[in-house]
Amino acid sequence: MTNWGKCNAGRKCSGMRKNILWLFAIILVCCTLVFISCRPHKDILPTVQRIQERGELLVGTTGDYRPLTFREADSTYWGFEIDMAEEMARRLGVGLRFVPTSWPTLTDDVLAAPQAFDLAASGITITEERLAMMAMSEGYLENGKTILCRVEDSAGFRSLEDIDRPEVRVMVNPGGQNEKSYKLHDVQLL
């Protein structure tokens, strides 16, 4: 397995991790097939058949969202969703190719005709806007946003109001849900 598979000071996680991976792979394959089959193309081959005839599963990813997907400087990918894509390709009996995408272009890339990739995997947030345009799997991971700052400054950053000041600079991922999630008015976005 890949880098994300280690936990607790370098010890391997329990067999539960393997069960979660299998369950997620099955859910991801099913949801992907639903997602792709909802495309409005006439005379489209069933998704699995089309992928198998091509001999390759195309997975769009930003490669910038550890531990779900990450692209190293040497262009290798790793992460939870990368492992799932590898397992899906193995089960389909095809090769795997990662197709770079970005948060600002993700929706357009998903809806492109011809399709840029068969599915997208990047820890994508389920939103009403996205659901209106594309099918998405059920969420499998729930997390929140956190403030990351120097320890000596931490007492001053406990809420969004503490951040939303002209002297504060905040780094966001352009085009991603993080950029759209909060209505910060006075802060300097990087």
Which of 143, 93, 91, 88 minimizes the C-alpha distance to 117? 88
- pTM value > 0.75: no
Q: Confidence band (pLDDT; 50, 70, 90) for 10?
A: very low
Q: How many Å apart are CA 29 and CA 33, to the nearest integer?
A: 6
Phi-psi region of 70 (alpha: psi -120 to 50; beta: other; left: phi over 0): beta
Domains and CATH numbers, the chain: 3-133 (3.40.190.10), 151-189 (no CATH)
Q: Confidence band (pLDDT; 50, 70, 90) for 6?
A: very low
Calculate mean pLDDT across residues 15-40.
59
Q: Chain-wide mean pLDDT for the chain?
A: 76
The model's pLDDT over 31-50, given as tens digits with 9 standing for 90+, comes to: 555 555 455 444 456 888 98
Q: How many Å apart are CA 68 and CA 61, to the nearest integer?
A: 10
Pairing of the two strands 188-189 and 169-170: parallel
Which of 83, 75, 67 minimizes the C-alpha distance to 28? 83
